[in-house]
Structure 1
Amino acid sequence: MNRARKVKCDEGKPSCRRCTSTGRVCDGYESATTLTWYRPNQLSARDQREGRAFQFFTKMAGPVMSGSTDSYFWTHLVMQFSHFEPTVRHAVLAISSLYEEFARGSRITRQICGSTFAIGHYNAAIQQIKSSGDEQLILLLCILFICIEYLQGDIYAALEHCRHGIVILNNSSCPEWAHQYLVPIFRRLSIIPFFLGGVKSMRLPSLIGFDPAMPAEFSNIAEAQSFIDNLMLRSMECVLDGIDDHKSTLSTLLEQWETKAKNLVLNIPASSITDRYALYGMRLKHKVTSVYLQKPRDATETWYDQHLDTFRDVVDMAKKASQTWETARQVQVPDSSFTFEMGFLPLMFFVVIKCRSLTTRVEALAYLAQVGPAKEGLFDVGTLYRVGRRLIELEHGISLDDGITDYCENRYSEELLPPEGKRFFAIPVKHELEVISDQDGSVHYKRQIHFLQRDHQGQMRSTYLTGAAFSAAAVHAASLSDICSKTYAKSALPADGFISGITIDPDSVQTALVSNASFQSEWYPTASADYCNLTFAYSHDGIADDIVHVSYWLPAPSKFQNRYVSTGGGGLAINSGSQYAGSGLIVGAVSGITDGGFGSFNTQWDEVFLLANGTINWQSVYMFGYQAHHELALLGKELARNIYDVAKSSKVYSYYQGCSEGGREGWSQVQRFADQFDGAAIGAPAFRYGQQQVNHLFGNVIEQTADYFPPSCELDKILNLTITACDRLDGREDGVVSRSDLCKMHFNLNSTIGTPYSCEASSSTGGPMLRARQFSRPSTPAQNGTITAEAVAVIQQFFDGLHDSQGRRVYLNYQPGSGFTDAATSYDEETETWGLSISGLGGEWVARYLQLKDTSTLESLNNVTYDTLKEWMIYGMNKYADSLQTTYPDLSDFHSAGGKVIHVHGESDDSIPAGSSVHYYDSVRSVMFPKKNYNESVAAVDDFYRLFLVPGGAHCGSNSNQPNGGWPQTTLQTVIEWVEKGVAPETLDGSGGDIDTICRWPLRPLWSGTSMDCVYDQESLDSWTYDFDAYKLPLY
């Protein structure tokens, strides 16, 4: 029986266009009536949280809910109603809260409902609407309730709300505002069940009497949208219900739509990015609908092969849409991670599952992850991507573990399409996410996926992805470009509340794909790699204007080895930029750096330390001291797990690498957070901060006290003579002082007095970064002379270390063979004399951090004595004891957690004395194992902590004065071997010099005639032992 289609008046003036366009006679209009709402006083927030949630919806959620469709419903109607209608207000607050939870990384699942705030407001809206007979209000709330159920993962409740709304529309008069803004939404909602497997139990009632009339031309985007949505819905109903008589009419209408859409495109200005993006979505709907409508009832899967060109067109269009999407995201504020409306996801998924051209479907899979937000209504990009990827592997008998981009870039004209017997005709997805809680408290998620095939007899059989369930973490992202999409990166951010008191800003996510980058350092072998640089920002709750930026370098999925590496800074910088970050990529790890909340990755601590003269920014101290690196590692480890879908049962190993200030930062984590890192490669740490920074001024005070300022050439000559004299003390002449302890005991500096020196004029800045801050050497004249007794006395006292006026040891200093950076002098061209050159690091420490003046150095050292230096050391030690001193010697918790540390220090370091590291090692040994004898305690410490002094090594690298010394280039790899395979290093391998064996402390190097042995020498060890008797408490 044919049913006459009900035609509703569109109230066009002077005659109804819907009637006149169909040949009907318009019966005219009833008297115009005005829609009148009871409007109580405007609602206001009951508390601060409600106010914030409403503001969040207004600014962040509402504007993006509509996706590429008309946003008026969300940005105007909903907002207007929420100001005076309590039920709408409650629903908006629930949506705002749930949206924000999802945007911050929370999973959408019925078993883990949203916050009590969201659920409370949702329940309040339901209770209040129950007593309402206002159908127009109920219609509006139906849409809001559907959105809430989307964000709670309840597909059936969402469909039930939709069903209820359609019934109301079909059985009541529909005012113009509802026809214009609500009907299009319900029409698009009616399409969704067809992408859920076409199960009839999920079908929604048909909308009766709401078909739009085809205009002569589309006057705007909304008109074109309404018509293609209607055509898609009618086409899917036609095919699923087997009504072939309507196919011809619908095909004609689809052709007309395409012609009119092309004309509409010509009238859209290039600047209208959102309209162009919307049209791409409509044209994809048109292409998919055209293919779907032609499908015969008895079609096999090979029937789709005749539409390969159409599928190719869809992918090319998706590429343009993806480019437009990225442009739109740059100008659109805010960015979106969820939209209420169905967009590109199910359309691209249709191409992935029905197009059997490998190159085309693989590209479709790639754009599925790039062309829209992470979630569109019920459709989740992560699920569709993983299912599509697995389907391609099953049907083509390939593995995409090496990435999908290779297939995209290496197209071939003739492809072997999989036979019918290997194809899957349907893939029902259970969209409800199941939460699995393990006994250890960890949580993972499963979603059921059925891969349906027919055998040669036509019988259906089901294949599962992984047993009876599909784990959301079962398959890694396919390629580097996949994980480098902003959508994917956002979906992988640590969940909201992952770190208490920290809020991640998902809209701050930036990704950059870097190809064939080269890395070169003495800390790792030269290498090149492709990587994705992912950055985002977070803030600390309750702190105004607080923004911390972190950057993570991500290796390709095929290179990832379940590892994370944090890298440290140097000088007053909390990060070293790219200096160490490449080391993580080399070992298959995600590598992270932080800006500490200082404003940018290039901003150093001194720039933010003072709020004003005399006023400390203590948050910066806290972050620089240890907290920033703690947060960097926590976020980085979780990000690595999420990016590469590492199962909860699998371990992500975590490591640290840093030298100098970076070394201190590493120890700050090991001492405080026992399970933060599994292993650490630490070099020349700037711990014992109160002493270390003031100690840079020791050489200056020696010279000023002696009133003798050695010329640079005189200092260089003393250094070279020392190296020459002490080179052979290890049994081999190689230009390296491997035994600075024997040099200290046996070399008489007085033997150099009277030796002539000569240097040509030179111009030097002293070196970049840390070196420039520590010592700036201006132009120097040509120099000739002989080494004086005064110079030797200065250097002898320099090596002896700081003592107070009563002869008590205050601090240690550099080993013989080290450069005299802290004793450097400057030449005054006007007076032609040598004078004081105040150490940059030491001068700034005292001026800025102790005296709290916004200046980078001291004006002079007048009246500064050795006792003054001691006082400054004690003052700084006490003032920053809990943040910067970083010498806590009890590492029992770290040891119990199974952590390992390899600690290296250049024996000829001219910035941080090698003895500083030896003293800390001995402090750990004596504090942790007080009842053991020396050898037993060394063995006990060696179980988790090993120290290596690098012969001839300078500060954090090889030494230009002793170039044959080299540096251990694979320290991080050695730590990894120790942690993951239990291979503890007895020695380290040197690189870039003649020293290939670096001994483990307390063993010392000695040439046997054929090889370098590591021997025990008590007398030498004693020379490294210091009693800091100037302090009343132990100095670890």
Structure 2
Amino acid sequence: MQMLRKRNHKTRSGCLICKARKIKCDEGKPTCQRCISAGRKCQGLGYNQTSYSHLALYRPQNHVLGNNVKTDSRAIEFFCRVAAPSLSGPIDPYFWTNVVLQFCDHEPAVRHSIMTISSLFENLQSKDNSSAVATQRSVFALKHYNAAIRELQTPHKPDIVLALLTCLMFVCIEVLQSNGDVAIRHCHHGMNLINTSNPPKWVLHYLLPIFRRMSILPFYFGDSQPMGYSESPTIPESFSSYFQAQTSIDAIYNMTIQHFRRTADYRLGDMRNEPATPEVLLEQYEIHDLLEQWKSSFDKFEAETPQDLIQTSLTSRIWLFHVYEVCMVLSRVQFVTDEMDYDAFIPNFTRMVEGARELAGLRTRPTPSEFHFEMGFAPYLFFAAIKCRVLETRIEALRLMGVLCAAQESLWNSHTLQVVAQRIIDLEHGISEQDVDTFVTQYGVLPPDEMRVRHFVIGPAESGSDGSVGRELTFYMTTKDGGLYLKRERFPTKGPNEAAEGAPGVFEVDLEMDKLSLSEIETWSSTRSGSV
């Protein structure tokens, strides 16, 4: 008969490192000799609460989560089945569904990050942030986010691959919470690592394209500091895959947006109607040349691609052409002060809307989730809605936003973009809620230049005197003599924690306020803000 082993009393004291290693601690203060002799950084006999990350989640007092293997496994399973396939939006999800999971078992920082993303994603999907279950998921996410950070706080620098991988996952975590400033700081850190180190080729293949797409966020949300990758895109004679075509157009798009931002003064600032410098024109010509090369290479690739593969990759194909068409427009309007110049690109906007309509008509199209980590169709359809002055086309772009777009795409809130686009359409076509006849007669009529919105800025969500939450929306309009004035309105929002907003082609710029006449602030009714 097998003898029963005598149970030893398990001590509850000791430093955190010794507990994790499951060895007896000498409980030395302030640090134990066990950790010092092993070359480890002793964290003392208790948690250092001040080292916790500022993760903006609700944390109930006196609530502690234990080591729940079942809960951890469920979070990872939810990530694999639900979150990972949706994070990339219309882009190939291979990075999230395969690359990240390959590190899950042997890199604790990655595993903790996966569980954090999973819990935050599920909270967004459930649309119920007030329930006890949602609160528990938030606490769970906080616990694992800080655990991931602690894994990287070692005396030795983490491996460059691990550092870049977790950095990107931290960007995702912050974007999930609409913490734009923190997400952008993580992006800066990741791009600096890529530019100053020599990462493996596979890192440049999988991680660089995502960092490049995320690095453009500052140009949408008021920060003009560039953080792009130093190498210029190389366009092959013919692409070998949609992925290769995507990485090339990503680089061109970044160049286009940065150039558009740098030339803002030619459209709205002190250099209006001034000739562009040779350096600025040279960069514009380079973008035009790259776009021509990209289109030629893509056409050759599709001519050599089986038709069934083109159909199975329809979402990626249409998304690529949305990016291409936006680049075509923005790279040619850097210096325009007359909004009528956008009318030359009505065919580009029409192709964008037709492609989106084709995708929306597919029975097998993916159902939009509440959240995409990367930018999907929302900002591009929004751009078509505000810059294409054909009423039928822009109304269709609005409708397709509701069909194809996630509620939150990166830092963009799709509902807010729809509301803003609807208001711009109303202003430019002179449409009001009660004036149905005007709406009908505007079909086939392009609004005159003085009625067109030049630019807009969305203010932060703020509570009014009546307790309602709203944002101030400032429109930059033109006078008949070519001057600018501001029209300000306020529209209600769902809450102060909504995702931020941005739009291709419209950026926050500094204007001399004494040259502008300010109109009174008008308040929208809550019913009007919801009609999109």
TM-score normalized by structure 2?
A: 0.70
Partner Cα distance (1:189, 1:81) in 2 = 22
- Counterpart residue type for residue 69 of structure 2: D
Shift, 1:187, TM fit: 1.2
Which of the two has higher C-alpha Rg?
A: 1
Partner Cα distance (1:338, 1:402) in 2 = 36
Partner Cα distance (1:126, 1:460) in 2 = 48
1:338 is matched with 371
1:424 is matched with 453
Partner Cα distance (1:218, 1:244) in 2 = 28
- Is the contact made by 2:372 and 2:409 (CA closer than 8 Å) also made in structure 1? yes
Partner Cα distance (1:395, 1:473) in 2 = 26
Counting helix residues as a fraction of each chain, which structure ranks higher?
Answer: 2
Query: Out of 237, 259, 263, which is 1:216 matched to?
Result: 237
Cα gap change, 1:154 to 1:435, in 2 (>3 Å): farther
SS in 2 for 1:68: coil
1:231 is matched with 252
Deviation digits for residues 820-856 of structure 1 (CA, Å, limit 9, x no counterpart): xxxxxxxxxxxxxxxxxxxxxxxxxxxxxxxxxxxxx
- Structure 1, unmatched stretches of 5+, are 1-44, 475-640, 647-1036
Task: List aligned pairs for 1:501-580, cutoff 5 A.
Answer: none
SS in 2 for 1:294: coil
Cα gap change, 1:64 to 1:306, in 2 (>3 Å): same
SS in 2 for 1:452: strand
Cα gap change, 1:100 to 1:272, in 2 (>3 Å): farther
- Structure 2, unmatched stretches of 5+, are 1-66, 264-279, 496-525
Paired residues, what number? 412
Cα gap change, 1:107 to 1:418, in 2 (>3 Å): farther
Shift, 1:342, TM fit: 0.7
2:321 is matched with 283
- Is the contact made by 2:86 and 2:369 (CA closer than 8 Å) also made in structure 1? yes
- Counterpart residue type for residue 150 of structure 2: Q
Partner Cα distance (1:271, 1:403) in 2 = 45
1:362 equivalent to 2:384? Answer no
1:140 equivalent to 2:165? Answer yes
1:193 equivalent to 2:193? Answer no
1:451 equivalent to 2:475? Answer yes
Deviation digits for residues 349-394 of structure 1 (CA, Å, limit 9, x no counterpart): 1111111222221111111222232221111211111110111111
Partner Cα distance (1:315, 1:368) in 2 = 10
- Is the contact made by 1:359 and 1:411 (CA closer than 8 Å) also made in structure 2? no
- Counterpart residue type for residue 247 of structure 1: Q
SS in 2 for 1:370: helix
1:258 is matched with 295
1:386 equivalent to 2:423? Answer no
Query: Out of 327, 332, 341, which is 1:294 matched to?
Result: 332
Partner Cα distance (2:322, 2:234) in 1 = 21
- Counterpart residue type for residue 349 of structure 2: F
Shift, 1:241, TM fit: 2.6
1:150 is matched with 175
Cα gap change, 1:147 to 1:448, in 2 (>3 Å): farther
Task: List aligned pairs for 1:102-121, cutoff 5 A.
Answer: 102-106=124-128, 115-121=138-144
- Is the contact made by 1:473 and 1:645 (CA closer than 8 Å) also made in structure 2? no
Cα gap change, 1:273 to 1:49, in 2 (>3 Å): farther
Partner Cα distance (2:299, 2:370) in 1 = 30
1:93 equivalent to 2:118? Answer no
- Counterpart residue type for residue 255 of structure 1: E
- Counterpart residue type for residue 80 of structure 2: T
Cα gap change, 1:89 to 1:460, in 2 (>3 Å): farther
1:374 equivalent to 2:407? Answer yes
Partner Cα distance (2:254, 2:183) in 1 = 18
Deviation digits for residues 55-81 of structure 1 (CA, Å, limit 9, x no counterpart): 111111012211222322111221122
Deviation digits for residues 437-490 of structure 1 (CA, Å, limit 9, x no counterpart): 988xxxx64344322224456554333332xxx31269xxxxxxxxxxxxxxxx
- Is the contact made by 2:359 and 2:365 (CA closer than 8 Å) also made in structure 1? no
1:122 equivalent to 2:145? Answer yes
Partner Cα distance (1:642, 1:87) in 2 = 46
- Is the contact made by 1:159 and 1:202 (CA closer than 8 Å) also made in structure 2? no
Partner Cα distance (1:72, 1:251) in 2 = 31
- Is the contact made by 1:285 and 1:347 (CA closer than 8 Å) also made in structure 2? yes
SS in 1 for 2:486: strand
Shift, 1:312, TM fit: 1.7
Partner Cα distance (1:213, 1:186) in 2 = 18
Shift, 1:316, TM fit: 1.4
1:49 is matched with 71
Task: List aligned pairs for 1:609-624, cutoff 5 A.
Answer: none
Partner Cα distance (1:192, 1:249) in 2 = 23
1:75 equivalent to 2:97? Answer yes
Query: Out of 321, 324, 332, which is 2:359 matched to?
Result: 321
Deviation digits for residues 569-616 of structure 1 (CA, Å, limit 9, x no counterpart): xxxxxxxxxxxxxxxxxxxxxxxxxxxxxxxxxxxxxxxxxxxxxxxx
Partner Cα distance (2:371, 2:312) in 1 = 17
Which of structures 1 and 2 has the larger relative contact order (alpha carbons within 8 angstroms, sep 6+)?
A: 2
- Is the contact made by 2:92 and 2:316 (CA closer than 8 Å) also made in structure 1? no
- Is the contact made by 2:236 and 2:297 (CA closer than 8 Å) also made in structure 1? no
**% identical aligned pairs:** 33
- Counterpart residue type for residue 372 of structure 2: T
Counting strand residues as a fraction of each chain, which structure ranks higher?
Answer: 1
Cα gap change, 1:53 to 1:473, in 2 (>3 Å): closer
2:57 is matched with none
Shift, 1:296, TM fit: 3.9
Deviation digits for residues 143-168 of structure 1 (CA, Å, limit 9, x no counterpart): 11111111111111111111111111
- Counterpart residue type for residue 375 of structure 2: M
SS in 1 for 2:226: coil
Task: List aligned pairs for 1:945-960, cutoff 5 A.
Answer: none
Partner Cα distance (2:424, 2:174) in 1 = 29
- Counterpart residue type for residue 371 of structure 1: L
- Is the contact made by 1:315 and 1:363 (CA closer than 8 Å) also made in structure 2? yes
Partner Cα distance (2:86, 2:288) in 1 = 33
2:84 is matched with 62
SS in 1 for 2:259: helix
- Counterpart residue type for residue 382 of structure 2: F
Shift, 1:244, TM fit: 1.5
- Counterpart residue type for residue 265 of structure 1: E
SS in 1 for 2:219: helix
Cα gap change, 1:291 to 1:645, in 2 (>3 Å): closer
Partner Cα distance (1:173, 1:205) in 2 = 17
2:227 is matched with 205
Query: Out of 487, 491, 507, which is 1:463 matched to?
Result: 487
- Counterpart residue type for residue 138 of structure 2: S
Cα gap change, 1:403 to 1:206, in 2 (>3 Å): farther
Deviation digits for residues 810-829 of structure 1 (CA, Å, limit 9, x no counterpart): xxxxxxxxxxxxxxxxxxxx
Cα gap change, 1:121 to 1:455, in 2 (>3 Å): farther
SS in 2 for 1:336: coil
Cα gap change, 1:271 to 1:208, in 2 (>3 Å): closer
Deviation digits for residues 903-959 of structure 1 (CA, Å, limit 9, x no counterpart): xxxxxxxxxxxxxxxxxxxxxxxxxxxxxxxxxxxxxxxxxxxxxxxxxxxxxxxxx
Cα gap change, 1:287 to 1:421, in 2 (>3 Å): same
1:310 equivalent to 2:348? Answer yes
Partner Cα distance (2:301, 2:371) in 1 = 28
Partner Cα distance (1:257, 1:421) in 2 = 36
Partner Cα distance (1:402, 1:275) in 2 = 43
- Counterpart residue type for residue 421 of structure 1: E
1:941 is matched with none
Partner Cα distance (2:77, 2:113) in 1 = 14
Partner Cα distance (1:161, 1:339) in 2 = 18
> Pairwise CA RMSD of aligned residues?
3.3
- Is the contact made by 1:68 and 1:274 (CA closer than 8 Å) also made in structure 2? no
Partner Cα distance (1:227, 1:257) in 2 = 8
SS in 1 for 2:485: strand
